[in-house]
Amino acid sequence: MRTMDAGAAGTGHNTLVAALRAAGETTRLRILSLLSDSDLTVKDLTLILGQSQPRISRHLKLLADAGLVGRSAEGAFAFYRLAESGAGTRLAEALLAQLDPDDPIHTRDRERRASIRAAKAAAAADYFAANAEAWDRIRSLHVPEDEVEAAMLQLLGPRPIANLLDVGTGTGRILELMAPHAERTLGVDASAAMLAVARANLAKAGIANARLAQDDIYALSLGEDRFDVVIIHQVLHYLDDPGRALTEAARTLAPGGRLLVVDFAPHSLEELRTNDQHRRLGIADADMDTWLREARLELAGTLRLSGTGPADDGRTADAGASGAAPADTLTVSLWLATDPRIPSHDIRQEEGAFA
């Protein structure tokens, strides 16, 4: 007859009791509800709940210790969200499923949260306005972004995506694009200002399956073999060492995972270097081949978009040996690479994908 280890059983029992105690308080239950589909700071929660910062911090600590919420640092701020894996996540989701969505308390909380989001959206709009001239000028030099986005979806195809990482997420547009095609998405960026813009944009679009975090593109604070798709969209031309960034992104790919890179083909618009901080005037196919090889990835396909639309031969488009764009225009290149390792399991069943 099998016997259960009393210590192990007691540990599981005590953990569950501690989590139930952490959640079983009015303010903490309200916090769990607010964090179930959005990232919020201590300051956000003080404004929504009308309580002092020390009290909110204490509530969050108890919830975090019980594994019900997670915390991520972003510059001088810390953002909290419902935990994304483990027993705490399942317990929180079960408790929240019992809440009445029309309960007056939670309705008022959501209304106050919407007001805070509106204020952040206004700040994001101001940021856009301050930079709109430069961005619009660059956009006018290449094909419409909806064509680029359609090409991205074309290259990725209908294959299901469980965990997706957007490196250098910027305004969060790629997360918004990919949200309907992925179960979970994570966008990272070094700029706290850009993450604030992304957070406002995702909230406005009602995106609930996206997370944001501040991180270093050269040293991502993410484990290996975590994502089945990683996207690097219009980032490499800002970097001194794109190859190093690609190798770091490849480290996070699960076996059989895919890396999609979108950037400009080589061009001669020197003003983008002097006025817009571009470190490289486009990315050549030869350089991309070298970087992907060093990252132990295999190039699976390439699309190139000019003003007349995409050229595609299944691997590289015919635009000259270097892929250089004509003078005074920008051609957009898309490279899809794959991790040659054979998947040993379905990563959609893997918990803690963003840990």
**What are 128-145's pLDDT values in tens digits?**
566 655 665 666 677 888
Q: For residue 179, what pLDDT is reported?
A: 96
User: In whole angstroms, what is the distance from residue 311 CA to residue 202 CA?
Assistant: 32
DSSP letter at 186? Answer: E
- List the structure tokens of 345: 């399991």
pLDDT digits (tens, 9 = 90+) for 181-193: 999 999 999 888 8
Cα torsion angle, 25, 27, 30, 32, sign: negative
Residue with tokens 């978009």: 305
User: In whole angstroms, what is the distance from residue 93 CA to residue 68 CA?
Assistant: 9
Q: For residue 348, what pLDDT is reported?
A: 45
* 199: Cα within 13 Å, side-chain hemisphere: 28
User: In whole angstroms, what is the distance from residue 117 CA to residue 98 CA?
Assistant: 26
User: In whole angstroms, what is the distance from residue 245 CA to residue 215 CA?
Assistant: 12
Q: 169-208: string of b/e by CB count within 10 Å (b at 16+)?
A: bbbbbbbbbbbeebebbbbbbeeeebbbbbbbbbbeeebe
User: In whole angstroms, what is the distance from residue 12 CA to residue 17 CA?
Assistant: 9
User: In whole angstroms, what is the distance from residue 113 CA to residue 47 CA?
Assistant: 9
Span between the terminal Cα atoms of the chain, in Å = 38
In 10 A of CB 258, how many CB atoms? 23
Residue with tokens 């195809």: 157
* pLDDT tens over the chain, length 355 residues: 444 444 444 446 777 777 788 878 889 999 999 988 778 889 899 999 999 999 999 999 999 988 889 887 655 668 788 887 778 788 888 888 888 888 898 889 988 988 887 777 676 566 556 665 566 566 667 788 899 999 999 999 999 999 999 999 988 999 999 999 999 999 999 888 888 889 989 988 999 899 999 999 999 999 999 999 999 999 998 887 889 999 999 999 999 999 999 999 988 888 777 777 777 888 999 999 999 999 999 999 999 998 543 444 333 343 343 444 444 678 999 999 999 998 875 544 444 455 4
Find, among 188, 238, 192, 231, the residue nearest to 212 by Cα: 188
Reduced to 3 states (helix: H, G, I; strand: E, B; else coil), residue 334 is strand
